[in-house]
Homo-oligomer: A and B are copies of this chain.
């Protein structure tokens, strides 16, 4: 019951996706929403099929000795599958990002110019062991009128294939050709290489996962890439920082969900503030089980701190570890972020508006926070509805990417014989 046996190669799949995208681009918003509901219902109805397949992946993962966090991301349940379905129904409620006249004007010669949003076409999604991406990305792609080519991590292969199989069967009863959702089962280097370079058939690649996955895509792809997610996020606690705000934000950003990309990795602390508030810091680090990797001065005032090395400044711990760098002023903080940041989310705590303004202006990142936690860099938290990822690049989309990031534009000119 492999979903891909009908296709002879990755290229054939991409070509089929492109053809299906034409059909998809002609559907109305209501028609697309209806399809999302059909998919949601099918996932809930076929939950057992998906859970059986997931069990195979879990058995393999256990045999391979994957760690608990990894197994947790991989594991599905009736509740999680219901959440997937609910997510699709949620996407159905969002505004259709296509078919909007973004601007229009008439030239002196009478030529009407309209800038209209349209689907990108075919989206290539490359991700690791989270089967939820299979559903979430499909929902966002279809809502925005795009076909999708999915390439999930091999450790979730059975789960992903089962999910796609369920969606394909459901699409058979809709206006969306099932070819609009392609799943690449092959894990060969050739299949990956093909996927990265099929410029004629795929319009954008979106990698979601760790730094090595993302770098592999960026370095090998000739298709434009939307880079997502690696977040080496910093919090600068200024000499004029309010103590309660600083401690609350530090703890929230570090401990609320340490494994996500908007979690805090390095606190940059003004030396005078550190000296004044060292006992508060020691208290909260102990209370929350945070391991501090400090520079020399941090080691002096935080007794349990281990020495920070160059690697610590660049590291995305994704755990309860925290690097502490001490500085003499906001400029040194900005320089440190410039050197080690990944342009994701950077925060400052200060009561001095001028200092905050300088930080906002000179730090180059997707999301900047004054007296708030980096944890808000999230499509849901910021009110985008749903997100396909968080872009850390500067072109096309930056920060949380909602449905509009999956569109492009056409200039449509209507005339009555105008020439130049």
Write the residues of chain A forming the contact surface with B, with a CB cutoff of 8 angstroms: 22, 25-26, 105, 107, 111, 113, 120-121, 199, 203-204, 218-219, 222, 224-226, 242, 244-245, 248-249, 251-253, 256, 356, 360-362, 364-373, 375-377, 381-383, 393-396, 398-400, 408-420
Nearest B residue (CB) for A115? B399
Chain B residues whose C-beta falls within 8 Å of the C-beta of A393 in the assembled complex? 224
> How many copies of this kind of chain does the complex include?
2
**Which one of B107, B120, B256, B382 contacts A383 once the chains associate, using CB atoms below 8 Å?**
B107
Could you tell me the distance between the alpha carbons of A248 and B109 in the complex, rounded to whole angstroms?
15
**Which one of B369, B371, B420 contacts A381 once the chains associate, using CB atoms below 8 Å?**
B420
Least Cβ–Cβ distance between A266 and chain B, in angstroms: 18
Q: B204 to A413, Cβ gap below 8 A?
A: no
Q: Which 6 A-B pairs have the closest CB atoms?
A: A372-B415, A252-B419, A394-B408, A245-B417, A395-B396, A375-B420
- With contacts A376-B418, A418-B376 known, is A224 near B224, CB below 8 A? yes
Could you tell me the distance between the alpha carbons of A244 and B419 in the complex, rounded to whole angstroms?
12
- With contacts A22-B362, A411-B399 known, is A417 near B111, CB below 8 A? no
Q: A411 to B382, Cβ gap below 8 A?
A: yes
Could you tell me the distance between the alpha carbons of A29 and B416 in the complex, rounded to whole angstroms?
40
Q: A361 to B25, Cβ gap below 8 A?
A: yes
Could you tell me the distance between the alpha carbons of A383 and B253 in the complex, rounded to whole angstroms?
46
- With contacts A111-B376, A222-B219, A372-B417 known, is A398 near B408, CB below 8 A? yes
Least Cβ–Cβ distance between A301 and chain B, in angstroms: 24
Nearest B residue (CB) for A377? B411
Q: B369 to A417, Cβ gap below 8 A?
A: no
Least Cβ–Cβ distance between A101 and chain B, in angstroms: 12
Q: A394 to B120, Cβ gap below 8 A?
A: yes
Nearest B residue (CB) for A111? B372
Q: List 26 A-B contacts (CB under 8 A).
A: A25-B362, A107-B381, A111-B372, A203-B395, A219-B222, A244-B417, A245-B417, A248-B417, A248-B419, A249-B417, A252-B420, A256-B420, A367-B413, A368-B410, A368-B412, A370-B413, A370-B415, A371-B414, A372-B413, A372-B418, A377-B411, A382-B411, A395-B395, A396-B396, A398-B411, A400-B411
Nearest B residue (CB) for A413? B369
Chain B residues whose C-beta falls within 8 Å of the C-beta of A364 in the assembled complex? 121
Chain B residues whose C-beta falls within 8 Å of the C-beta of A411 in the assembled complex? 366-368, 377, 382, 398-400
Q: B410 to A26, Cβ gap below 8 A?
A: no
Could you tell me the distance between the alpha carbons of A410 and B395 in the complex, rounded to whole angstroms?
12
- With contacts A413-B372, A414-B371, A419-B375 known, is A395 near B204, CB below 8 A? yes
Q: B419 to A360, Cβ gap below 8 A?
A: no
Chain B residues whose C-beta falls within 8 Å of the C-beta of A417 in the assembled complex? 242, 244-245, 248-249, 371-372
Could you tell me the distance between the alpha carbons of A204 and B398 in the complex, rounded to whole angstroms?
14
Q: B248 to A367, Cβ gap below 8 A?
A: no
Nearest B residue (CB) for A105? B383
Nearest B residue (CB) for A107? B383
Q: A249 to B409, Cβ gap below 8 A?
A: no
Chain B residues whose C-beta falls within 8 Å of the C-beta of A377 in the assembled complex? 411
Nearest B residue (CB) for A251? B419
**Which one of B113, B371, B418 contacts A373 once the chains associate, using CB atoms below 8 Å?**
B418
Nearest B residue (CB) for A407? B394
Q: A120, A203, A393 — which one has the most chain B CB atoms within 10 A of its CB?
A: A393
Extra pairs beyond A111-B376, A398-B409 (8, CB < 8 Å):
A121-B364, A251-B419, A360-B412, A367-B413, A369-B415, A372-B417, A373-B420, A396-B396
Nearest B residue (CB) for A225? B224
